[in-house]
Amino acid sequence: MNFVMRFAAVFAAFSLGSATQAEIGLAGLFKQEQNTLQAAAPGRLERFLSGRSGKSQSVEHRSPPIEFTRKWIDTQPAATGGSEFECLAQALYFEARGETVKGQFAVAEVILNRVKNTQFPNTVCGVIHQGTGRPYQCQFTYTCDGYKEVIREQNAYERVSKVARLSLDGPSTNLTQGATYYHTTAVNPRWARSFARTARFGVHLFYRDDRYRTASSN
């Protein structure tokens, strides 16, 4: 017999004039309900009191908003990952470790924009190593400059590794308006005249080839 039915029975007894019996029954009824509530699992009781069903509720997990400061990056957990993460972290180290944090995110964005563009390989490692081993064909200088790739500045590598991890995990920063090319102010490549310049961060200039637009540039 549920609570409502038991309460109805007690109320009927009271109405028929058996006040003492009704009082005893009512006291026992509330005592029983109190014991039932105390025995209930905390989570079940909480759901009952809040009006939720026993079904699991979906919880939306959002990445924290990115702050383009070294102080914020240094508070983020150490970054790890597979080959795609390692390729991106190394590219940021050799291409942009001395750049501002926003500039490092912008360089990462260019690499990821290339992954989404049919002009380029569809993996991070493929994009970075495109043309490596062929004279004047490599896309990222450090992959074919003849120097051994040695990471000597561990703190700088740990920092750009966090940038790589955050760039891969999202949300999209869209700093470069879909750029798929960049160069530093130390050089003036001929190809830069053919593309639309979209942004500058630190010593890096960014360009978009409007013949091939990525999703982030539309």
Number of residues written out for the chain: 218
Reported as a single tens digit per residue, the pLDDT across 8-29 is: 554 454 444 544 454 555 456 4
CB-CB contact of 96 with 160 (8 Å): yes
Reported as a single tens digit per residue, the pLDDT across 36-54 is: 555 554 555 455 444 444 4
CA distances from 141 to 79, 149, 167 (A): 25, 11, 21
Which residue from 22, 194, 173, 14 is spatially nearest to 105, judged by alpha carbons?
A: 173
Q: Is the pTM of this model over 0.75?
A: no
Reported as a single tens digit per residue, the pLDDT across 98-141 is: 999 999 999 999 999 999 999 999 999 999 999 877 766 789 98
- 65: pLDDT strictly greater than 50: yes
**Separation between Cα atoms, residue 102 and residue 84, nearest integer Å:** 21
Burial of 151 (0-12, 13-18, 19+ CB in 10 A): middle
